[in-house]
Amino acid sequence: MPALTFKSSKLLRAQDSFTSFAFVLPALVIFSIFYVYPFFDIFNLSLHEWNGISFKRTFVGFDNFSELGVDKIWWKSVWNAMYITIMALTLQNALAFALALACDREIRMKNFYRVVFFLPPVLSEIVVGLIWRWILNAEMQAGEHIGLLNHWLVQSGLPHLVHEWLSDPETALTCIAVVHCWKGFGWGFIMLLAGLQTIDRQLYEAAKVDGANTLSTFWHVTLPMMVPVILVVVILTVLGSMQAFVLILSMVGQGLVYHTEVPVTRILASMQGVNRFGYACAQGVCFAGILICISIFFKMISDRAKQV
């Protein structure tokens, strides 16, 4: 008799696991068909030398990876992407958080701001590229600067700061990063706002009663509640910024020497410029590894933060 109960409870538990698993099943099926299969194909290709067309694929083992290890341009491009990402993590997310906090309180015109801040992510890269190339243009006409930024610098009495913004190695990548932050902060803004909105107002009231000022309320109430949402925003920012490339293409075309190269543009160059699909796939696999490491790193930090 006892044995039977044990068996049935085990069965029940198995059944329970199975029905729970069924919730994940549709997602898993789509994932397997549209991701896992291409992934193995790509991984397989990264061990080959292949020009993308021919039926001939030469197996080269890990040659592509060992070549990638000493490819200075590749690692420079990884660093460039990190630079953009660091700018996005600090500048963009700080701006997004500040604006979300401002719009979370009872402030006039907040509905207007909520809509307006989301315009840059919605706009096509074509428009963004056109506008920013115009703002940063270094050309002159009839003694006047065409570009808004240079024009404005001269007007404000700072002519020594006039620059060829997009063709100077000192400034090109930073300009791109700033535009990227401008284009992307709307995402962080709405996600953080959504997170802020779910915080119980009573907690703020309680903090106020306890005599906490704005800063300590933020530090002790808002921030701890926001850790999970911040983590999502951080991970999405990292993945989005590391992979940004459409904006780069639309701002500096095929790039300023190697100063504006990022991993994705290198992969495209290997695929379309040099017709080395195997090498491009190796770059892709390496890049995926880098991204996963960064994501795990942030996950660990946030676990720490939650414990504290």
Partner 1 sequence: MEKDNYRTRNFLKYSFIHIVLASVAMTCLFPLFWMLRSSLMTQSTIYTDKNLIPSEIIFENFATAWVQGNFGIYFMNSVIYTVSVVVLIVIIASLAAFAFSRLEFPGKNIIFYMFVLALMIPLPGSFVPLVVLMNKIGLADTRIGYILCMTNVGLSMSILMLKTFFDKMPSDLEDAARIDGCGKLGIWWNVALPLARPAIAVIVIFNSLNVWNEYILAQLLLSNKSLMPLQRGLMVFQGSNINNDPVLMAGLTIAVIPIILIYLAMQKHIIKGLASGAVVG
Partner 2 sequence: MKNVLALVLCLFTCIGCGQPKQDANTVTLWHWMTDRNDAFQALAAKYEEETGIKVQIDLYPPSDAYTQRIIASAQARVLPDIYGILDKKQVFASFIESGFVADLTEDFAANDGEWEKALFAKALDVNRFKEGNIYNIKPGIYGAPIDVTNIQMLYNKKLLAKAGIDKAPQTFDEFLAAAQALNRIGVAGLVSGWGELWMADCFASNYAFNIMGEEKVMATFRGEVPYTDPDWIAVFNVFKRMADAKAFAPGIVTKPNKDAEQSFALERSAFSFNGSWGVNAYHGMNPDLDYGVMMPPAINPDNPMYIWGGAGSSFVINGASQNKDQAVAFLKWFTARDQQVFLAQETKNLPSNRKALSKIPEVLSDYAKAMDNTTHPTIWKYNEHPLVAETYLKGIQSIIIGEKTPEQVAGEVQAVKEREMAKAEKRK
Answer with the entry of partner 1, partner 2, none that 158 interacts with (C-beta below 5 to 8 A by kind). none
CB of 81 to partner 1, least distance (A): 13
Which of 307, 305, 293, 285 lies closest to 42, judged by CA? 285
What residues numbered 220-249 form the site for partner 1, per CB under 8 A? 225, 228-229, 231-232, 235-236, 239, 243
What is the pattern of x (binds partner 1, CB under 8 A) and - over residues 187-206?
x--xx-xxx-xxxxxxx---
Based on CB atoms, which residue is closest to partner 2, 170 or 200? Answer: 170
Binding site for partner 2 (CB under 8 A): 51-55, 133, 137-143, 146, 164-169, 172, 251-258, 260, 269, 272-275
17 binds partner 1 (CB under 8 A): yes
Answer with the entry of partner 2, partner 1, none that 235 interacts with (C-beta below 5 to 8 A by kind). partner 1
CB of 56 to partner 2, least distance (A): 8
What residues numbered 40-69 form the site for partner 1, per CB under 8 A? 41-42, 45, 52
Q: Cα(43)–Cα(223) distance, rounded to whole angstroms? A: 41
What is the pattern of x (binds partner 1, CB under 8 A) and - over residues 244-273?
--------------------x--xx--x--
Stretch that binds partner 1, among 18-26, 58-66, 67-75, 160-168 (CB under 8 A): 18-26
Stretch that binds partner 1, among 64-72, 73-81, 254-262, 283-291 (CB under 8 A): 283-291
